[in-house]
A and B are shown apart, each in its own frame.
Chain A
Amino acid sequence: MAVSKPTTPSMFKKKSGTSLSAMASAASYLSALSQADARARGALNGSPTSTPALSISSSVTSSSQDTVLHEEEDYSDGLALPARPPTSEQVFKTVHTEFGHCASEEFRLTSQHTPGEPVPGHVDADPPYYILFSTYISYLILIVLGHIRDFLGKRFRSASYAHLMPKGGYAPLNSDFDSFYTRRLKTRMDECFSQPVTGVAGRTILLLDRVSPDYNHTQLFTGSPNPRLEHLGQGGCADAVEESIKRYGVSTLGSRLEGGSSDLHTVSEALVAKFVGMEDALISSMGFATNSTYIPALVGKGCLVISDELNHASIRFGVRISGASVQMFKHNDMESLENLLRESISQGQPKTHRPWKKILLIVEGLYSMEGTLVNLPKVIELKKKYKFYLFVDEAHSVGAMGPQGRGVANYFGIDPRSIDILMGTFTKSFGAAGGYIAGSKTIIDHLRVHGHSGPYAEAMTPPVLTQVVASMASIMGVKAPLPAPSSSGLRLSSPAPLALEYEYVHPGPAPHSSLPSWLSLPRELSDGSEGSTRLRRLAFNSRYLHNGLIKLGFITYGHPASPIVPLLLFNPGKMNMFHTMMKDRQTPIVVVVVAYPATPLVTSRVRFCVSAAHTKDDIDTVLRACDEIGDVLDLKHGIPRSERWPIEQITERAVELARMMK
């Protein structure tokens, strides 16, 4: 693929002036805050390499070397320091590189469905035909060339193809056919993948240069599917995790059913159940395994699983292991779903026509590659009529969608208990690891005993559990304890006097008694104010970026409220270029590009994941970059030219734009 780095800087110069204007103020900002900085530095062991960012944090942050910046570096890229200096009365407790400083209440929104408004399905926006055509051609050329290279290579350079050819009576470990895609297509864009990183990934990320490992770049990070609702490494959650490591150690040694259960598991599971509004919940140490090991305990032979065609690999893994029959319906297409339901219920099992034992519909709340939001109101309606069971994978939506961050049900204002099973992961919104399954007590107890993870998989470790508890509590807020008779706080082993127990109402604040007694969260976390700010920042950022890209003329997918914003590139050659051009900008931006097989062949895309940590200025930067690169790479095939807005108008009318429906 002819991908050359943009060697003509003039191409970008014309518009970069806008971002340069921040330079002067950055300098003044530096001096204005040097005092505060020095104070912060005092707590940081005075390490010369530690970040000069704002850590006026009250919490002790012993070794905050998260952002190794070079002293002589200038701050005009807006990464380490905000482009616009904050006023003296604004106090930020986060490090700007991790969690951007944004004080303006304007840039907030509530993530909520307007009742009555139709839920957008998934529309395949078609680019002009020449784009489609050239995309096919590109793949063809790649494929043909790849085969020719294989053909010649095996004959003339057999040494480097040894692992693809039978040798000494052994069949090759990976057949050249199976690995063709990876060898011939993916390796061409390897620089976009598998880039190792270091430090805390938040608003920015530190990439490790694979060529020279000692030179790291800080880059504006839009890659992680992590809405960053709590900051990592710093602040209340990390303090709690540190405390838990001191108290509990690193591991709980064993599976849940064989000596790996601790009180912390019990507490966390109860809190998760409260958070999502279900009767009971269980926690598993890996998100992928949550699906792949618990779905087989729900369905089996004689059952039917109806699965969205774009469901995550872990769901497919689990369904395949379960032995149930599977049918797929068109992505988020309720008509296709209903037709399929009618057909499967009326036809019954294949051949025998016996009625299905049960039908389980598995959908995702928010699709990770498309950014579409499941049409939950309609699904619930169908569920009433067709009596199937509903499993919603909220990996990306829990902690990110809804006015209280409780996921899609919260977003649509639907009672979570009208869903049978809510599954989710802690990897994304909670900055932890692992996953949960929530449902009625009967179901969860059944899963505890019959799910594969129960007896065999390692239990979740205490630090991860604590991160989950602390970050959930900070989103929920904690209801202050009622005056309890004992001053020592509530012990887990001795049940608290029930009369004083605060009755939990979903989606309200967490009862104080539902947290471990040793856990103390700073006030802004425990009153939920910070969590709520973050949720509203996320909602604003999502809508702003999404609508901004549309107004610039790009083709995007997904729901405007989704923090995942895919921008379509189509041509595989453009992926590499887009990635490189974003990375080589004055404010480097890291994006995730995805192509076949994660997406359909033609719709290669770049997937932006906005986070609450991004500021409005960050989104401006991203939009500006997309605007310029979009022109160069010919990516604007969305709304007609007359309806587009110039970038200045977009950044100025951001608030209006974000509130606009699609």
Chain B
Amino acid sequence: MDAATLSSSTTLEPLFAIMAQALNTLESTFHKLPGSAVIQRYVRSSHQNDPGRTLLELLLVIFAIRTLLQSRTRADRKGSHFIKFEEKEINELVEEWVPEPLAQPLTPNEQADLGVLPIISGPNGPRPKLLATGKTALNLASLNFAGLAGNEHIKQLAIETLRKYGLGSCGPPGFYGTLDVHMDLERDIADFLGTEASILYSQGFSTVSSVIPAFCKRGDIIVADRSVNFAIQKGIQISRSAIRYYDHNDLNSLEEVLQQVEKERKKRRGPLTRRFIITEGIFARDGTMSDLPKLIELKYKYKYRLILDESYSFGAVGRTGRGLTEIYNVPASKVDMILGSCAIGLAAGGGFCAGSQIVVDHQRINGPSFVFSAAMPGLLAVSASEGINIIRSTPSIFETLQENVRAARSILDKVDFITIPSHPASPMIHISVKHTPLVQPASAGLLSPASAALISPTKHAKDQMRQEYEAEERLLQEIAEECLSQNVIVTRAKTLKGQEHNEPKPSIKLALTAALTKKETEKAVGVVKAACVKVLGRRR
């Protein structure tokens, strides 16, 4: 035994010598290599002369190289469903295959709607000119709540910005696209709402569908209102989180869902995951308003984070247009993420997400449409900043707006045949057809389409529902066109039929503005009323 070890160590000695020499030559050649100094310095500084770790790292290198060398093969190719074909068979199959057309032509109704789309000639605003007739009309379709459109001061600033910065920013925010005016606007928004920070996106619509996947990952839980807007639906879809819906604007239902989720989690004993409540301030599809204090109470109670889309409430409600946090007088910091649109609220462009510094910084690297899209044009950022300046210093804007809203509601609430789901303070008013046996002849007595959908309808019922939908839509379109012919621009709430989660009820969407006087508003809404009565009354 002893002799064996002895001899082996003596035989190994020359081997060690050779190895030492080899190492030496290796080292010297390494030094001769250009750039080796850099590597050496780099290795030395990051590596603390720990031999054990070198071994570990080497192993990891080998592992890394191996995984990288393994070609990425598609998984299903060798799956059990793969059928092996001869070349000739493939050629035949290719020959035979007939694809569907890329896009179906529009249906006559769609075509007609597109044809009568009001197109504004010249500047849009409260009293624009219609391209088709050349007549001036009162505008209840365009979103201009605070009446900032056409503000001469904003225009002047925009021109100055144009001269200084050019129009487009030159790249994504991470690559020299961030201008100082973007940072100014982010600061202005955060300051206005009272959050730590905010982040700008270059389109309002793409904001929320980018914010959600930045935070909600696979395995996380989202509890959302059943009737959230389309952008939120898409954000949820792309996040791949587990999704639970609660009944529209029903916080008791929300609490039930929260309790249920909690129960399930306890049963599963899963790890702690991120949980989010996603809802809107004023709902885009019907103008109802969330009860923010109650939402915040629930969020704290069940330890959720709240993502609140204020696209239609920022710059629209509250004493100075701050949105729901101002109406309910809750600190904005209690909402984890407030999303808003500078295009809707400030008549400029883009959207934002306001929240804590951590929330904002996280998005700067993880928000898909922030990272991979060019920053918004500088002049739009400046216009938005000035918009904030104006609304925060002019509370009378929102007094006028509320006065107009009250005036409009007092006219509309009296009209038969229609229902208005919107909150009395919402400057966006949705009008839908009241369900009467006349509009809904066959399935009279049945529930409204939304709730009927829950009872998994038969095909026949489904068809019938679609027909009802179409009939309602046609009536509303008739109303809109009737208004247009009276020089009041009104639009049906356009939706993506067949693509929405929980199809919204067809409606006409009025967007009131502080730029119209009370008289004008009354006149315009009067025309809407008359049109409703005329079109719906005719049915009777």
Contact = CB atoms under 8 A, between A and B. Distances in A.
A239 to B, nearest CB: 10
Contacts of B206: 286, 288-289, 292-293, 457
A147 B477 CA distance: 61
B117 interface: yes
Interface in A318-345: 320-321, 327, 341-343, 345
Contacts of A464: 167-168, 377
Interface string A542-574: 000000000000000000000000000001011
A389 interface: yes
Interface of B: 33-36, 38-39, 41-47, 53, 56-57, 60-61, 64-65, 68, 74, 76-77, 81-83, 85, 89-90, 93-94, 97-106, 110-111, 113-114, 117-125, 131, 134, 139, 141-144, 149-151, 154-155, 158-160, 162-171, 173-180, 182-183, 202-206, 209, 215, 217, 220, 229-231, 234, 237-238, 272-275, 284, 303, 305, 341, 343-344, 347-349, 358-359, 362, 364-366, 368-369, 371-374, 376-377, 379-380, 383, 489, 491, 493-496, 499, 509, 511
Given A141-B46, A249-B124, A262-B120, A171 B166 contact: no
A320 B236 CA distance: 12
B380 A461 contact: yes
B371 A313 contact: yes
Interface in A372-400: 385-389
A251 B349 contact: yes
A145 B205 CA distance: 40
Given A252-B142, A601-B68, A602-B68, 15 more contacts: A179-B362, A224-B175, A226-B168, A245-B379, A249-B124, A249-B150, A320-B238, A346-B85, A358-B100, A420-B102, A431-B166, A431-B167, A433-B167, A455-B230, A634-B36
Interface stretch (A108-116, A200-208, A405-413): A200-208
Interface residues of A, number: 161
B168 A261 contact: no
A244 to B, nearest CB: 10
Interface stretch (A22-30, A161-169, A472-480): A161-169
B446 to A, nearest CB: 28
Given A171-B273, A245-B159, A430 B57 contact: no
A430 B368 CA distance: 23
Contact of B155 (A63, A249, A431): A249
Given A249-B150, A431-B168, A493-B134, A254 B215 contact: no
B167 A241 contact: yes
A141 B164 contact: no
Contacts of A1: 42, 45-46
A433 B118 contact: no
A171 B275 contact: yes
Interface stretch (A444-452, A496-504, A505-513, A649-657): A444-452
A603 to B, nearest CB: 12
Contact of A145 (B35, B39, B46): B46
Contacts of B44: 2
Interface centre among B42, B113, B166 (most CB of A within 10 A): B166
Interface stretch (A12-20, A348-356, A482-490, A619-627): A348-356
Contacts of B217: 175, 178
Contacts of B374: 287, 425, 427, 433
Kindly list the 4 A-B residue pairs having the minimum CB-CB distance in the complex, ordered from nearest.
A232-B166, A634-B35, A259-B141, A457-B205
Given A253-B143, A253-B347, A358-B99, A289 B203 contact: yes
A551 B81 CA distance: 51
B168 A432 contact: yes
Contacts of B74: 327
A140 B376 CA distance: 37
A166 B271 CA distance: 11
A449 B114 CA distance: 8
Contacts of A599: none
Contacts of B220: 171
Given A186-B365, A314-B372, A194 B272 contact: no
Given A251-B348, A320-B238, A458-B205, A493 B368 contact: no
Contact of A248 (B99, B122, B377): B122
Given A250-B380, A426-B168, A432-B168, A289 B122 contact: no
